[in-house]
Amino acid sequence: MPSAPKTLRTERLHLHVWDDTDAPELRALLDANDAHLRPWIPFMRHEPRDLAGTREVIASCRASFDAGEHYRYAVRERENGALVGETMLIGRGPAGSMEAGYWLDAGAVGKGYATEATAALVPVAFDVLGLEWVELHCDVRNDASIAVARRLGAVRVRVDRIEEDGRAVDLGIWRIDR
């Protein structure tokens, strides 16, 4: 079965599969960005964790990467190695598709990094993994995320009303076709 590469390079960024050695930096970044990420990122429901819990998440990211289920990448600036966020392909949709996701350190927004990092996953999805389409799920109120989806060339195909923590959320389903 084809697998995504463990590292990728773009003009300004280095993407790599999460490693145990990243745990302290990831912990610090999530703690510093709690308010920025919590409204939009479902996994923030399980944060904050301690360092040991963060190591467990990283171990599970690596295991699912190796199993070809989810491909989650740390995103670093090439210039200085600073950890600035994450981009990913998550395998929870129908066969032939994966869901792209992304988040950035609040201090790293407005530079095009989310678009640049996630754009690197599109050829991986189609040319390496042989997928038919990539989905992006953006809360209809999340303008910054919607702008990334648009810049990636995604088209909104529908809006799903889901329930999150007991409240209704309208989730725009965006799609990039092969």
Q: Smaller CB distance to ligand COA: residue 74 or 114?
A: 114
Site string for ligand COA, 76-115 (x = CB under 6 A): -------------------------xxxx----xxxxxxx
Q: Smaller CB distance to ligand COA: residue 11 or 50?
A: 11
DSSP secondary structure letters along 6-54 = SEEE-SSEEEEE--GGGHHHHHHHHHHTHHHHTTT-GGGGG----HHHH
Number of residues that bind ligand COA (CB under 6 A): 21
Give the nearest residue (CB) to ligand COA.
Answer: 112
- Closest by CA position to 138, among listed 155, 125, 121: 155
Q: Which stretch binds ligand COA (CB under 6 A): 35-43, 51-59, 126-134, 157-165?
A: 35-43
User: Could you give the CA distance from residue 138 to residue 146 in angstroms, rounded to a whole number?
Assistant: 6
Cα within 13 Å of Cα(55), Cβ side: 6
Report helix, strand or coil for 116. helix
Residues near ligand COA (CB under 6 A) are: 36-37, 40-41, 101-104, 109-115, 138, 142, 144-145, 147-148
